[in-house]
Amino acid sequence: MIKKIGVLTSGGDAPGMNAAISAVIRRSISKGIKPYIIFDGYKGLIENRIEEATLDFASKIIGHGGTAIGSARLPEFKDENVRKKAITTLKSHEIEALVVIGGDGSYQGAEKLTQMGINCIGIPGTIDNDIVSSDYTIGFDTALNTVVRSIDAIRDTMTSHNRCAVVEIMGNGCGDLTLYGATATGCEVISTRENKLTEDEIAEQVSLLAKQKRRSVIVAVAENIYNDVHGLAKKIENKSGYVTRATVLGHVQRGGTPSAMDRYLAINFGIFAVDRLSEGIGGVYIGICDNKFVAKDIESTLNSKPKDKYNEYKIIREINKAF
Ligand code: ADP
Ligand code: F6P
């Protein structure tokens, strides 16, 4: 049986990461394993910023947004010599296994550390929901609720003034926050990297809605697929006649109190990870699939294709614009 486990958060933070950290600490202690926190992701590993975690810390952070142990991006971690430093640090603390909470980039680091002799398990913590083979990632539900509250608020003012709004939503290449947010709020136009409309197509669709005398129109777009959403708003305004404004939701989507569902997922992922590590299993990531907690091989996960949601887009687009 292992005696010490480390936990770190890496990449973009996500609401619910603290609940996962808390569960890793509490599950370790309940199994007689000493838990260690590593500050600021892989950066803290190579800088030897590590400390034993307490139950008091674990119980205080459970409902807080962000990550209480800090996160960072460290591109140098791709270099084997930098990772060797991390292994030396872990060995100097006699930490035999590591829980890495982050996205697919962080998993690649975890996979390489496992190959170098420290068993690692990844927990999917990202608002983007872009970890293939887990139906949901920690943080997605909270961010989605923020998106929905924001679009509802924008809808109020657009309806009052008979306007159109373009709303830009995060996701780092994955359209789920946009698709689910637009579904929950009835956005008339949806465009993501996976199912992209050209600027002209969007302007054309909005002008058809203007002809139907819609009181307001919301265009939900995923980040980084158009050069300038304010320019897109102008184009829509010129074609449709609606006064059109653009809102970039930005980092408000990454913060805030984690939802009950994110905490529930995070805590179960944390327990599941410690249980697998204590059985000597590493090189896997934890996910939820068809309502079951699963541990899957990191390498095959990184190489899997995302689910095709073409039909889901088609139907939501049809009912939301209903020409
Ligand atoms: P996320 O985990 O949210 O996808 P990033 O892609 O920024 O975020 O990755 C987080 C960190 O994981 C990087 O800053 C780097 O330290 C580490 N990482 C990413 N890719 C690799 C890789 N190929 N090999 C080793 N470490 C990596
Ligand atoms: O991965 C989470 C995320 O918020 C993405 O949705 C977004 O593209 C990116 O991180 C933003 O990163 P940064 O905070 O470094 O600007």
**Per-residue model confidence as pLDDT tens for the chain (323 residues):** 899 999 999 999 999 999 999 999 999 999 999 999 999 999 999 999 999 999 999 999 999 999 999 999 999 999 999 999 999 999 999 999 999 999 989 999 999 999 999 999 999 999 999 998 799 999 999 999 999 999 999 999 999 999 999 999 999 999 999 999 999 999 999 999 999 999 999 999 999 999 999 999 999 999 999 999 999 999 999 999 999 999 999 999 999 999 999 999 999 999 999 999 999 999 999 999 999 999 998 777 777 888 889 999 999 999 998 76
Provide the terminal-to-terminal Cα distance of the chain, rounded to the nearest Å.
63
Kindly give the number of the ligand 2 atom that is closest to the alpha carbon of 14.
2
- Closest residue (by CA) to atom 9 of ligand 2? 172
Residue 202 to residue 193: CA distance in whole angstroms? 14
- 258 CB less than 6 Å from ligand 2? no
Q: Which amino acid does the sequence have at 189?
A: V
- 254 CB less than 6 Å from ligand 2? yes
Kind plus residue range of the DSSP H or E element containing 315: helix 310-321
Active site residue 228: no
How confident is the model at residue 204, as a pLDDT?
97
Parallel, antiparallel, or unpaired for β 97-102 and 119-124? parallel
Q: Which amino acid does the sequence have at 47?
A: E
Neighbours of 54 (CB within 10 A): 13
Grouping H, G, I as helix, E, B as strand and the rest as coil, residue 35 is strand
How confident is the model at residue 244, as a pLDDT?
98
Residue 98 to residue 120: CA distance in whole angstroms? 5
pTM assigned to the model: 0.96
Q: Which residues have C-beta atoms less than 6 Å from ligand 1?
A: 10-12, 42, 73-75, 77-78, 102-106, 108-109, 112, 126
Site of tokens 């946009």 = 178
Kindly give the number of the ligand 1 atom that is closest to the alpha carbon of 107.
2
How confident is the model at residue 323, as a pLDDT?
61
Beta bridge partners of 35: 5
Q: Is 203 exposed, middle or buried (0-12, 13-18, 19+ CB in 10 A)?
A: buried
Query: Could you tell me which residues come within 8 angstroms of residue 311 by beta carbon, excluding any fewer than 6 positions away?
Result: none
Kindly give the number of the ligand 1 atom that is closest to the alpha carbon of 126.
3
Ligand 1 pocket mutation, candidates 67, 73, 126, criterion most atoms within 8 A of CB: 73
How confident is the model at residue 148, as a pLDDT?
98
Can you list the domains of the chain with their CATH numbers?
Answer: 4-139+258-302 (3.40.50.450), 142-254 (3.40.50.460)
What is the CA(159)–ligand 2 centre distance, in A?
30
How confident is the model at residue 306, as a pLDDT?
85
Kind plus residue range of the DSSP H or E element containing 295: strand 292-297
Residue 59 to residue 38: CA distance in whole angstroms? 18
Residue 76 to residue 86: CA distance in whole angstroms? 12
- Closest residue (by CA) to atom 9 of ligand 1? 105
What is the CA(255)–ligand 1 centre distance, in A?
21
What is the CA(151)–ligand 1 centre distance, in A?
31
How confident is the model at residue 66, as a pLDDT?
98
Q: Which of 128, 130, 141, 176 is catalytic?
A: 128
Grouping H, G, I as helix, E, B as strand and the rest as coil, residue 296 is strand
Residue 90 to residue 35: CA distance in whole angstroms? 12
- 192 CB less than 6 Å from ligand 2? no
- 35 CB less than 6 Å from ligand 2? no
